[in-house]
Structure 1
Amino acid sequence: MDVTIRGAGVFGLSCAWAMARRGARVRVVDPAGVGAGASGGIVGALAPHVPEQWNDKKAFQLDSLLMAADWWAAVAEIGGGDPGYARIGRLQPIPDAVALERAEARGVEARTLWRGAATWEVVDAPKDWSPGGDRVIRDTLSARIHPARACDALARAIHALGGTIDTNATERGPVLHATGWQGLAEMRDDRGRAAGAPIKGQAVLLDLDRRDAPQLYLDGLHVVPHGDGTTAIGSTSEREFDHDRPDALADHLLDRARAALPVLADAPVLRHWAGLRPRARSRAPLMGAWPGRPGHFIANGGFKIGFGMAPKVAETIADLILDGTDRIPEAFRTDTLAPWRAED
């Protein structure tokens, strides 16, 4: 089967890879190229939702995070690229007695909800790599990935299986739209509202080698040590902005991180990054058939959890397009989108 994928961000590339592995002839089309939007970032914190108030979204994410190691290993093996994946875990602060009680209760929930595949526990804080306090939350489910390198690794794997990635090409077969915030802005729900909007994020990359350390969550920030000897600090969530370039807020981000974690103080800055991330109105990925447009499908709205969700999103979309099997959770469905009209 021929399949066309519009959008070479993490959702588009992941879905193309999943379908190519099943024998589809995939063609990815993106005028800007691979990972040109928010997917070409530097942070890559694959962190789970807290293990409580369980729902389909959290269960879907859990499945995706648990399948990620083998999934990304296959990408690297077939294409030869390195996505920078490692399940390094995460440490979070415990600011007070109420937070400690909540953390311990979540640890009990995790034993059941995470099916014994990962742990959430309270431990003594490490001396020189800690989000603060004497005791911290440690989970073993969180992982890291290098977003830009992961997109490159997916592109290499797609090419290795005979797929193509073009800036412009004729559509063939079913068409998957994974076009980021621009695509969400063009879609309307049944009340006439845009299906989503861009949220600006900024991050900073430091020359600091902590590749064997867990990622940290501190003062609302992610600190992610990468396997290449760099450490990323991110990110902002800006609803109002005048441009998509890094600005003073990136430096403010770094100041906050250095104030909370002194070991970052003297690490040289390698890069500032900014991008517009696609946030669906539902805050969950938007997946499924495009109402009123036969043969067209949507996978969009990854926002902050796109890379963590990508393996499961990709396999679920491949099930739908190639086999006609619909395993999409209710919270992710495209049913509330207004039917597409030819004049759109």
Structure 2
Amino acid sequence: MGETLRIEEAPLTGDDIALLRRCSRGKTLALIACLFIFLLLVSMTLLVAVLAVSEWRSLRGADGVMLLLVVVGAGVGVAFFGRRLLRVPRAWRSVARALKGRAPKQIVSGHLTGFGPGERPGITYVFGDQRVDVALPFWNEVTSDTRSGARPADAVALTDLPVRLHVLPLLPDAPGLLLRVDYPMSGQAWTSLEEISDADRESVRREERGVRKFFLLAALAPLAVSLFVPPVILLAAVLALMGLVLGMRSPRLKRARHKQGVRGVVEEVVTYRLRTPNSLTVSLAHNYRVGGVMYRVDHLGPAALPGQRVEFEYVDAGALGQRELSFRIEDQPAMTL
């Protein structure tokens, strides 16, 4: 038997607009970088084409094949970045209207029977035989195309419950942006706002010093080996540099004045795999929905599960992003961040 969904429109709240503003932060620089790469590829394509036409008589077979491959590769890049740039003006207009409170959101209500990663970047809510695909803030491209972004490695949630999805449609042919989700227990979550204490700063500084000490000690082994194999000293230098950088004082904590606390039942867990550039290292980014709101919490140890109660604190330093101070699953010791 199919589940009947109820869809109604409602104005954006102050929290919705604040979330959308945070999602849009820094996108201008990304657009400039995209435009620069597009123009660079166009210039490269034109330059290679002109050279090929003017020097075609002197080209050998291998040179011609190489030029053809360069033109094809640059052309593919031009098409990719050009398509993204063409969608930006319409997406930005939609975001601008929403930031001014002129675009309504949709509230989709139904009995949730399934939840998981979507076929495209984003997640899917299942209501009987009906599916609702949505884009997640910070993980999908909000100011260009919500169909682009990162795809979750795993997504689980409490199901067999009535829920209300707050979705902001940005483009007619793309998934809407998920602002919040109301579960039956969402109203029981607890939040707080307090000034950051000296103890909080000292705790974070102690962790930073621990990270620095770990990498500096790790650098001693390749440093000793470099006495016999000189090139290995480069590895020691890299480890020492990582220790100095990662052990620096957190700019987020310097800038922030207040910390925010959250405590409640985990309603959803969405996990992403993040790969470090030029490295095989993979880390997990856990996103927990508590009280209807999604929070990204980076921590070591196992992830919390839907239905468990968690408690964590973080600071929001504006453009510098969020920095977790503590994370704890109920009846378990606090985890290292």
Q: TM-score range by the shorter chain?
A: under 0.3
Q: TM-score, normalised by structure 2?
A: 0.23
Which protein has greater RCO, CA pairs closer than 8 Å, 6+ apart?
1
Higher strand share: 2
Q: TM-score, normalised by structure 1?
A: 0.23
Higher helix share: 2
Larger Rg: 2
